[in-house]
Amino acid sequence: MTIAACAGASVLLALLIGGSPFAHREAIALTSVGTAARNANAELNKCSSNTGTALYGCVANVLNNFCYAMGRSAVSPGTKQSFDGAIGRLRRAVSKVQALSALAQAQAAISGALRQARSIGHAEGGTADAQDLAAISALISHAVQLVQAKG
C-alpha cells in the first residue's frame, strides 16, 4: 500500500507541476513541434487498444519517437538522460504502479526544463522553448491518463 500511495502522490505532483494535458493544445498546434505532438497524441490513442506491459511499451515508444522527432538537441543532456532513464523504466514496468512512477520521473525531468524555459525563454543547454516543453509535458500527462485508465 505504501508504494502505491507514493506512486499516486508522485503522479498527482507531476500532473500539478505539468498542468493540464489540454491547456496548450491550440498553442502547440501552430509549430512543427505542435504538429509532432498532435501526431504523437494520435499514436497514444492507438496505444489504448493495449493493456499492461504492451501498453507501457507502446507509450514508451510514442514518447521516445516524439522526442526524436522534436530533435534530441532540444533539451539539455541532463534532462535528456533523466527522461531517457524514465522511458527505460517505463519499458521495463510490469505493473501500473511502476509505469506511473516512470511517467512521473519523465514529467519531473521535463517540468524542471519547462520552469527554466519559462523564466529565461529556453531550456539551458538545449534549443527547446517553453512551448516545445509544454507539448512534451502535455503528451506525458496524456500518457499518465491512459495508463491510469487502461494500465
Binned at pLDDT 50, 70 and 90, residue 72 comes out as low
CA 35 to chain centre: 16
Asked whether residue 11 carries a pLDDT value surpassing 60, the answer given is no
Residue type, 13: L
Which range marks the domain in which residue 67 is found? Answer: 2-18+25-150
Binned at pLDDT 50, 70 and 90, residue 31 comes out as low
Cα 11 to Cα 17, 20, 68, 73, 101: the distances in Å are: 10, 13, 24, 27, 7
More confident residue, 1 or 41: 41
Q: Tell me how many domains the chain contains.
A: 1
Q: For 25-42, what is the mean pLDDT?
A: 70
CA atoms lying within 13 Å on the CB side of residue 107: 28
Asked whether residue 24 carries a pLDDT value surpassing 60, the answer given is no
pLDDT tens string 88-104? 999 999 999 999 999 99
CA atoms lying within 13 Å on the CB side of residue 102: 24
**Would you say the pTM of this structure is higher than 0.95?**
no
